[in-house]
Amino acid sequence: MTTCLIADDEPHLARALAAELAALWPELQLLHTARNGVEAAERIAALQPDIAFLDIQMPGLTGLEVAQGIEGDTRVVFVTAYDEFAVQAFDQEAVDYVLKPIARERLAKTVERVRRALQPAGDAGADEARLLATLKRLLPGAPAGGAAPAHLRWVRAGSGDITHQVPVDEVLFFRADDKYTCVQTAKAEHLIRTPIAELAQQLDPADFVQVHRSTIVNLRCLAGTRRDDASRLFLRLHGWAGELPVSRAYVPLFKAM
C-alpha cells in the first residue's frame, strides 16, 4: 500500500486535501498530518512515507527546508498558494508543484505523476545507481576498470590580458554563477563561460560528481560533511573555508563514504 503524509499549517486546507486524495486515490494511506515544518520533518524521518504533500510556507521549517532534509525515498509534492517558489521546488526533485486553491482535475494529474514516479526502475533510479557506482570506485580496494577515456585535464580562464591554465586536478569544485561558471581552487577563483552541463560531460566521473543542479565537486578534495539542524547536508573541502549544499537527490551518494 502506498503511504503519504500531509503538512500544512492550515488544518482546514489539510483536511480538504486529504478528502480529495481519498476520492482520487482510495488505496493511498494517510499516515500523518503535520501542522508545521519541524513536525513534518520528524514524522517523515520516523514514518518514511512514500510521498509527502508539503505546504511551502510553514512555521519552524519551510516545505523547501523539509524536503532538503529528507534522507529516505520519500517523494515530494509541494502544495502552496505562491508560485514564486516553483524553480526552488523542482531543484528539490519535487514530483509536482500544485497551487492553491486546488482543483480536482489538477490534483488528478498530480496523482498520475506520483504513481509514475513511484514505479521501479525509473530514470532517477538509474542515475543514482550510476553515481553510487562512481563513489564505490573511489573506495580503498576498489577494482580498477578498463582503459580510462580521455577527460578534461586543463581549464583555460581569462582575467584581463592574462589567460590562466588551471589543472583540473587542482579544482575543488565548479559552480554555475549567472552567465559564468566559477572554477574554485584552493588558491584562487576563476570564471569561465563553459556551462556546467557541458563540463559534466568532459570531466572524469571517477573524480567529479554533481551534488547540486549548479555544482560539480572534486571528490578527491572532500574533507568531510556536516548536517545542520534541518538535516540538510553540506560538504567541506580541503583548502577552502566554505561549505557546499547537497541537493536532496544526491544525499544518498554520501552514505557509502
**Measured at the alpha carbon of residue 230, what is the angle toward residues 72 and 81, in degrees to the nearest 5?**
85
Residues 111 and 207 reside in one and the same domain: no
26 band by pLDDT with thresholds 50, 70 and 90: very high
Same domain, yes or no: 210 and 104:
no
Confidence of residue 134 (pLDDT cuts 50, 70, 90): very low
Output the pTM of the full model: 0.50
Q: What's the CATH number where 100 sits?
A: 3.40.50.2300
Q: Are residues 82 and 28 in the same domain?
A: yes
CA distance 56 to 37: 9
Structure confidence at residue 47 (pLDDT)? 95
Tell me: pLDDT of 187 over 80.
yes
Domain for residue 145, yes or no? no
Q: What is the 3-state secondary structure (H, E, C) of 133-177?
A: HHHHHHCCCCCCCCCCCCCCCEEEEEECCEEEEEEHHHEEEEEEE
pLDDT for 50 equals 95
The pLDDT-based confidence of 149 (bands split at 50, 70, 90) is: low
Q: What is the DSSP letter of 52?
A: E
Domain enclosing residue 132, as ranges: 125-139+151-256
Tally: H helices and E strands in the chain = 7, 15
| pLDDT for 141 beyond 50 | no
Query: How does strand 96-99 pair with strand 75-80?
Result: parallel
Mean pLDDT of 218-234: 89
How distant is the alpha carbon of residue 3 from its chain centre? 22
Any idea what the CATH number is for the domain that residue 184 is in? 2.40.50.1020
C-alpha cell at 238: 580541503
Residue 144 located in a structural domain: no
Residue 146 lies in a domain: no
Does residue 108 register a pLDDT over 90? Answer: yes
Task: Tell me: pLDDT of 227 over 60.
Answer: yes
The DSSP secondary-structure symbol of 235 reads E
What's the total number of domains in the chain? 2
pLDDT exceeds 50 at position 137: no
For cell 560531460, the residue is 201
- Kindly state the DSSP code that residue 178 receives in the 8-state scheme: T
Long-range pairs for 161-167 at CB < 8 Å and ≥24 separation? 164/188, 164/190, 166/190
Q: Summarize the confidence of residues 141-157 as an average pLDDT.
A: 65
Indicate if 134 and 213 belong to the same structural domain: yes
